[in-house]
Chains A and B, each alone.
Chain A
Amino acid sequence: MIARILAVFHARNLEFVRDRGTLSWNIMFPVIVLFGLNFVFSAGERNQFKIGVLTNNPVISEIDHPFMDIRYINKIQIVDQDAGLESVRRHKLDMLVDLDGPVIHYWINEESPTGYMVEKILLQSSKDEFLKGVVQGKNIRYVEWLLPGVLGMNLMFGCLFGVGYVIVRYRKNGFLKRLKATPLQAIEFIIAQVLSRLILTMSMAIFIYIGASFILETRMEGSYFVLLLVGILGATSLISMGLLIASRVSSEELAGGLLNLMTWPMMTLSGIFFSLEGSPEWVITLSNFFPLTHTLNAARAIMIDGATITEISFELMILIVISVVFTSLGAFLFKWQPD
């Protein structure tokens, strides 16, 4: 069994590595995206202030306070005070303010120049009594936040299309039928595909990560080992999605459509390029169904906040469950040849 898995694994690796066009694109694409977005968003990162308003009222424009009338300050609703303070700590919000009650309570980050500016504006907006709170935390550059997203995006495309599309092509052109006439079992074939794609995508992700972190001097607060574990589980869960989609389909057009149906919601809702903070609740709920969301949440927690394996155990468990369920279903439904 091991020999058969290794044989298929080795052949698939050779096929991928020798396909120079695909290999180059898999490396160049995330590099272009990373450096391109970094260039665009690092020059004058924001053109307006962003504050969180602590309130249970979803229509924050109804809050009656002169500060709310000041233009060019983006105000978003914050329900959870701790989450809001965390955003201030991370420089994602310039200020958190509670306008309800006789005393206006606000919090800023001592290390944030924009926090200092928006504090001055708040204090001049009314003659209320103010109570200042202070948090501390280093500024997170956009590229540091973006790097896990771009690596995750590359994993997503590499895993979903690299497994799903390839298996459908094998099925369509009869290669799977040829393999079926050997002692190779479906589960052996699937394990070989998973391992091959896992190693190839992880190798590329590590290569890109090392290069990007060296050139852009991005931070790494947590453990590289835990980050690697997140990468492996994230890639495995995405590969298992690809396997499930490819388990029976024999049309490349249909497979392409189904894979796009998976990738586009993840592209927009898993927080690859921008945080979902402030998005409607249903969007956040929907995003939690995607393995990429949990992969990125865990990776950012490790890289930016130095989270330990225990602190991201919930995300890891979800990725393990997705991997096991999707791989098992994919193996169960797997067909060697078209109907």
Chain B
Amino acid sequence: MLNILEVKNLRKKYPDVIAVDGISFAVKKGICFGLLGPNGAGKTTVIEIIEGITASDGGTILYKDQPINKNFHKETGIQFQATALQEFLTVKETLKLFHKLYPHPAHLDEIIQECSLENLLSRDNRKLSGGQRQRLLVAIALINQPELLFMDEPTTGLDPQARRNFWNMVEKIKLRKTTIILTTHYMEEADYLCDEIIIMDKGKILASGEPKKLIAAHFKEVILELPENEVVNGELDIPIKYELKYGHYEIYTRDISSTLDLLKKHNISLDNLKIRSFNLEDLFLELTGSELRS
């Protein structure tokens, strides 16, 4: 079995919007698979349909080559984007509650260690910080030793330290060969964690594949970033493609040395010039557009 999950022609329509518009994809066993897209792209709907939380309007979902059956919830874990926990319970009591809901749960001590919850066990759920709470939610999702783990925008609202900490935890989960389906709109996160991605918008898949291959397929150039104030008279006049973005020029080129020569000829200082490759965020904006969504 190569694919642990296959989604074919999945559709979901709400009264005012088509949330999922006939998408198909397959998730290979053991990888971290990213569902990327702007807010409202349909990522959460896709995950909730697969999880059986939301009913679809059509399409097929195969788990281990079979239609989803009652064992699916025993073998999968999910971390929802927004989940409340029972009030007045400690972290340990919450873990014990979910531990008893599964027929073959993992040892709690292992989960606690993996999610770095040792020092929080007696703390009331309501008194956890954002990052601590997300670690607890992941711990709950891991209790049944899932073969397939869903994580729906797990780092939204976390500070940079908490986010990095969270990524380290996901890395550890990846080492267990657990397949992860991660939705996020942080491209840096997807770049760091995901082996394969799909980029969605308005219920459709715009691109799919390995992040580096996707970038390579879409962009042949590199970017030279030149601060706007380095340009005399405030206007860049060169015969190659460039754009002014957020206080600097982005010059796109396949031939770095001849472009640098060209800039020198125009008496432009190269002291603060930066050279970088296209990244996932560039691809994302290229595909989904950079205009503000209503």
A, B in one complex: yes
Interchain CB contact under 8 A, A182 and B87: no
* Minimum CB distance partner of B137 in chain A: A178
Q: Are B101 and A184 in contact (CB under 8 A)?
A: yes
Assess whether A101 is interfacial by the CB under 8 Å rule: no
**Is the C-beta of B21 less than 8 angstroms from some C-beta in chain A?**
no
Do residues B74 and A183 form an inter-chain contact, with CB atoms below 8 A? yes
Q: Are A175 and B85 in contact (CB under 8 A)?
A: yes
Give the distance in Å from the alpha carbon of A170 to the alpha carbon of B78 in the complex: 18
B100 touches A174 (CB 8 A): no
C-beta contact mask, A3-47 vs B, less than 8 Å → 1, else 0? 110111011101100110000000000000000000000000000
User: Which of A3, A14, A178 contacts B83 (CB under 8 A)?
Assistant: A178
B76 nearest CB neighbor, chain A only: A181
- When C-beta atoms are compared, the residue in chain A nearest to B84 turns out to be A173
Asked if A177 lies at the interface with its beta carbon under 8 angstroms from chain B, I say yes
Q: Nearest Cβ distance between residue A248 and chain B, in whole angstroms? A: 15
| Closest residue of B by beta carbon distance from A172 | B84
Check if A7 sits within 8 Å of B97, measured CB to CB: yes
Of the candidates A4, A8, A173, A183, the one having the most CB atoms from chain B within 10 angstroms of its own CB is A183
B93 within 8 A of A: yes
Q: B83: which A residues are within 8 A, CB to CB?
A: 174-175, 177-178
Choose one: A175, A177, A181, A336; the contact of B73 (CB below 8 Å).
Answer: A181
Report the minimal beta-carbon distance from B45 to chain A, rounded to whole angstroms.
13
Instruction: Tell whether A3 pairs with B100 under 8 Å between CB atoms, given A11-B89, A181-B73.
Output: yes
Q: Tell me which of B53, B78, B102, B140 contacts A183 (CB under 8 A).
A: B102
> Quick check: is B103 within 8 A (CB to CB) of the other chain?
yes
How many Å from the CB of B247 to the closest CB on chain A?
41
Inter-chain contact B97/A174, CB cutoff 8 Å: no
CB contact between A177 and one of B74, B80, B96 (< 8 Å): that residue? B80
Q: A219 at the A/B interface (Cβ < 8 Å)?
A: no
Which A165-196 residues sit within 8 Å CB-CB of chain B? 170, 173-175, 177-184
Cβ distance A319 to chain B, nearest Cβ, rounded Å: 30
Q: Tell whether A19 pairs with B100 under 8 Å between CB atoms, given A174-B82, A180-B53.
A: no
Is there a chain B Cβ closer than 8 Å to A337's Cβ?
yes
Q: Bound complex: CA of A179 vs CA of B97, how far in Å? A: 10
Could you tell me the distance between the alpha carbons of A260 and B264 in the complex, rounded to whole angstroms? 80
Whether the pair A14, B82 counts as a contact (CB closer than 8 A) is: no
Question: A180 to chain B: closest CB distance in Å?
Answer: 6
Residues 139-150 of chain B, each 1 if its beta carbon lies under 8 Å from chain A, else 0: 010001000000
Measured between C-beta atoms, what is the minimum distance from A220 to chain B in Å? 36
CB contact under 8 A between A15 and B97, given known A174-B80, A183-B73, A183-B102: no
> B103's closest neighbor in chain A, by CB?
A183
User: Is the CB–CB distance between A6 and B100 below 8 Å?
Assistant: yes
Roughly how many angstroms separate A320 CA and B224 CA in the complex, as a whole number? 79
Contacts of A11 in B (CB 8 A): 86, 89, 93-94, 97
- Asked if B88 and A182 make an inter-chain contact with CB atoms under 8 angstroms apart, the answer reads no
Instruction: Give A10 to B97 CA distance when docked, in angstroms.
Output: 8
CA distance A15 to B94 in the complex (A): 11
Q: Is the CB of B80 within 8 A of A178?
A: yes
- The smallest C-beta distance from A22 to any residue of chain B, in angstroms, reads 10
23 contacts between A and B (CB under 8 A): A4-B100, A6-B100, A7-B101, A8-B101, A10-B97, A11-B89, A11-B94, A14-B88, A14-B89, A14-B93, A15-B86, A18-B88, A19-B87, A170-B84, A173-B84, A174-B82, A174-B84, A175-B86, A178-B83, A178-B140, A181-B53, A182-B73, A183-B102
Known A-B contacts: A3-B100, A19-B88. Give 12 more (CB < 8 A).
A4-B101, A7-B96, A7-B100, A7-B101, A11-B93, A11-B94, A15-B87, A174-B84, A175-B83, A178-B140, A182-B73, A183-B101
Q: Which residues of chain A have a CB within 8 Å of any CB of chain B?
A: 3-4, 6-8, 10-12, 14-15, 18-19, 170, 173-175, 177-184, 336-337
Q: Measuring CB to CB, which residues of chain B are less than 8 angstroms from any residue of chain A?
A: 51-53, 70, 73-74, 76, 78, 80, 82-89, 93-94, 96-103, 140, 144
Pairs A-B, 9 closest by C-beta atoms: A173-B84, A7-B100, A18-B88, A182-B101, A11-B97, A175-B84, A15-B88, A178-B83, A181-B78
